Amino acid sequence: MNIKHFLILFFCLLLILACAKRGTPTGGFKDTIPPILINASPKNKTTFFDSEKITLTFNEYIKLNDINKQLIISPPIEANKFKVEPQSNIAKKIKIEFNDSLSLKSNTTYTFNFGSSIEDNNESNILPFFSYTLSTGEIIDSLSLKGRVEDAFDDESEKFVSLHLYPIDSTHTDSIIFNSKPLYAVNTLDTLIYNFQNLREDNFQIIALKDYNNNYYYDQGIDKIGFTKDTVYLPGDSIFNFRLFKENYNFNWDRPEYVNDHHIRFGYFGTPEEDPIKLITPVPENFKTLINKEPGKDTLNFWFPEIEADSLQFSLKTKDSIYNVNVNFYRPKPDSLIIKPVQTRIIELNDTLKFKSNLPLEKFNENFIKVQNIDSMPVKFDLMINENYDLAKMFFKLEPNDEYTLSILPNAFQDLWGNTNDTILLVFSTRSYDSYGEIKFQLDWKINEQAFILELINTNNDVVQRINKRNEINRYSFKYLVPGTYKARIILDNNANGKWDSGNYFKKIQPERVIYLSNELELRANWELNEVFIVK
């Protein structure tokens, strides 16, 4: 190879290597610094504000994340009275422009809290809880108020809860939260903490509100509310904590729903009065009807036999009145009786075999039901229909590590109109004793002992077992537990009615307290856990 060819080859190799090394350099420091405000027009904490626009300039390109939810203005300004940019693109400036029709309150301090919405474009570094303050008067109000908001029943509390302050003057009533917007509002955003800043000296009513409609009003039965009977005195008070609960509706009826010639649904809100539905259409003497509650729904089912009529008329009772309603027929085909087992493969040793019915059950015949164990030996059983006529329970002694065969023939169950069930064949088994675990609790009362409900909850928040009978040694046991993760809670049952009761805003009744065990419980097969539950 001569020198000319060698030089050509050498320079080609250099060119290839140079091209191969091109690319984005790696390494170096990652940007972790959030955007910095470098200018505000008008300046932050300006007084005698009379502009139609606010401009906030940052040292780098920013984007606004979920700005419509994160931006909280106090006192509130209606969303259609202003606009914020940028909405979807990036910029170095945030612009807030007010409509010509907007009239800010005189001598009032306004705070714009951006929550966690501002982040830089490159690394999404968040500028947390950035706020901008202005006053339409000569001073910036400087008083503050803070606290914590938790759920009254669940151990996981709601996020983005609003806190409202209403000035107490000669026109103030408790109804103000239904029909007036608050003077001041803040939001917990994705925390449990709220913090009012730049408040004026005054006396206030304060509430916490999970405002599902985002309208600054309390929508009873929809929103969750937390309240205190105490007046907020500023300056003076500084901390108020709340427990959120959903209040029961003031009772009212929904529109009745005709299902078929045997069935009418009556939906309602709140808690119905005793015997709330009365049929007033003249019917034959043997016209047998039944009313039961639909499981899991605020609905009463009215069941009736076929009748040669095109409508039925009812009187419906509320707390303060009785009114009549007419339900017209359009005659779809009536439902067939369907019986379904609740358990399908495994039944726990402390459980009862159950069967759901889509129609109200009137009677059963044990001669058409047979239960056999793994050795094909017949098993004696008892059967009952519940008070709601929609569930049958079968009682018999369950043996560990056994298998059962159940056959239910037609005519075993009969509904209100004489229809009977189809054939049901079911094979199910039980676990061995050592497949289960046990959890024992020793209650350590740091407050006065009272009626309570002790509940064990699984990871789906289903109540697995519950105890509401006190004993002298304050020791309680949950047996036949499937291995898994559990939580425990105590409901302080003030009225000893065996259930948790919500609060009432107008009557100033707080919801019953619910106390959760601080740690989760990991249970394995054939284990026994012993826990001290401190009640304080």
Q: Is the predicted pLDDT of residue 398 greater than 60, yes or no?
A: yes
pLDDT digits (tens, 9 = 90+) for 461-474: 999 999 998 888 99
Q: What is the pLDDT of residue 11?
A: 56
User: Same domain, yes or no, for 366 and 415?
Assistant: yes
Residue 19: pLDDT band by 50, 70, 90 thresholds? low
User: Same domain, yes or no, for 383 and 291?
Assistant: no
Which of 82-91, 451-460, 488-497 is least confident?
Answer: 82-91
Region 337-344 average pLDDT: 93
Region 298-318 average pLDDT: 94
Distance of alpha carbon 456 from alpha carbon 466, whole angstroms = 6
User: Same domain, yes or no, for 450 and 507?
Assistant: yes
CATH number assigned to the domain comprising residue 162: 2.60.40.1120
Q: What is the pLDDT of residue 485?
A: 98
User: Same domain, yes or no, for 409 and 461?
Assistant: no
Average pLDDT over the chain, rounded to whole? 92
Could you tell me if residue 28 is inside a domain? Answer: no
Region 61-88 average pLDDT: 90
Element (H, E) at 4: helix 3-20
Q: Is the predicted pLDDT of residue 113 greater than 80, yes or no?
A: yes
* Domain end residue (candidates: 376, 410, 431): 431
* % pLDDT > 90, the chain: 79
Residue closest to 417 by CA, chosen among 376, 355, 360:
360
Region 131-142 average pLDDT: 95
Distance of alpha carbon 482 from alpha carbon 468, whole angstroms = 21
CA torsion 332-338-342-343 (nearest 10°) is -140
Could you tell me if residue 24 is inside a domain? Answer: no
Could you tell me if residue 531 is inside a domain? Answer: yes
Residue closest to 211 by CA, chosen among 66, 64, 80, 69:
69
Asked if 90 and 121 count as a contact pair (C-beta separation under 8 A), the reply is yes
Domain count, the chain: 5
Q: What is the pLDDT of residue 253?
A: 95
Q: Which domain holds residue 510?
A: 435-535
Could you tell me if residue 190 is inside a domain? Answer: yes
Query: Mapping DSSP to helix (H, G, I), strand (E, B) and coil, where does residue 322 land?
Result: strand
Q: Is the predicted pLDDT of residue 364 greater than 90, yes or no?
A: yes
Q: What is the pLDDT of residue 101?
A: 73
User: Same domain, yes or no, for 213 and 263?
Assistant: no
Residue closest to 59 by CA, chosen among 132, 134, 112, 121:
121
CATH number assigned to the domain comprising residue 503: 2.60.40.10
* Domain end residue (candidates: 105, 135, 165): 135
Residue 24: pLDDT band by 50, 70, 90 thresholds? very low
* Domain end residue (candidates: 246, 280, 312): 246
Could you tell me if residue 9 is inside a domain? Answer: no
User: Same domain, yes or no, for 112 and 164?
Assistant: no
Residue closest to 487 by CA, chosen among 429, 422, 536, 439:
439
Q: What is the pLDDT of residue 27?
A: 53
Residue 4: pLDDT band by 50, 70, 90 thresholds? low
Could you tell me if residue 2 is inside a domain? Answer: no
User: Same domain, yes or no, for 200 and 241?
Assistant: yes
Residue 21: pLDDT band by 50, 70, 90 thresholds? very low
* pTM (predicted TM-score): 0.80
Tokens of 367: 């001669």
User: Same domain, yes or no, for 149 and 242?
Assistant: yes
> Which of the pair, 428 or 27, is modelled with greater confidence?
428
Q: What is the pLDDT of residue 187?
A: 92
State the DSSP string of 425-473. EEEEE---GGG-EEEEEEEEESS----EEEEEE-TT--EEEEE----TT
Residue 248: pLDDT band by 50, 70, 90 thresholds? confident
Q: What is the pLDDT of residue 394?
A: 97
Q: Is the predicted pLDDT of residue 5 greater than 70, yes or no?
A: no
Region 199-215 average pLDDT: 94
Residue 23: pLDDT band by 50, 70, 90 thresholds? very low
User: Same domain, yes or no, for 256 and 222?
Assistant: no
CATH number assigned to the domain comprising residue 318: 2.60.40
pLDDT digits (tens, 9 = 90+) for 482-493: 999 999 999 999
Region 308-328 average pLDDT: 92
Q: What is the pLDDT of residue 15?
A: 53
CATH number assigned to the domain comprising residue 412: 2.60.40.3710
Q: In this structure, what DSSP letter does residue 504 have?
A: B
Q: Is the predicted pLDDT of residue 22 greater than 50, yes or no?
A: no
Could you tell me if residue 271 is inside a domain? Answer: yes
User: Letter for the amino acid at 440?
Assistant: K
- Which residues touch 471 (CB under 8 Å, ≥6 apart)? none
Could you tell me if residue 298 is inside a domain? Answer: yes
Q: Is the predicted pLDDT of residue 100 greater than 90, yes or no?
A: no
* Distance from the Cα of residue 446 to its chain's centroid: 30
User: Same domain, yes or no, for 165 and 217?
Assistant: yes
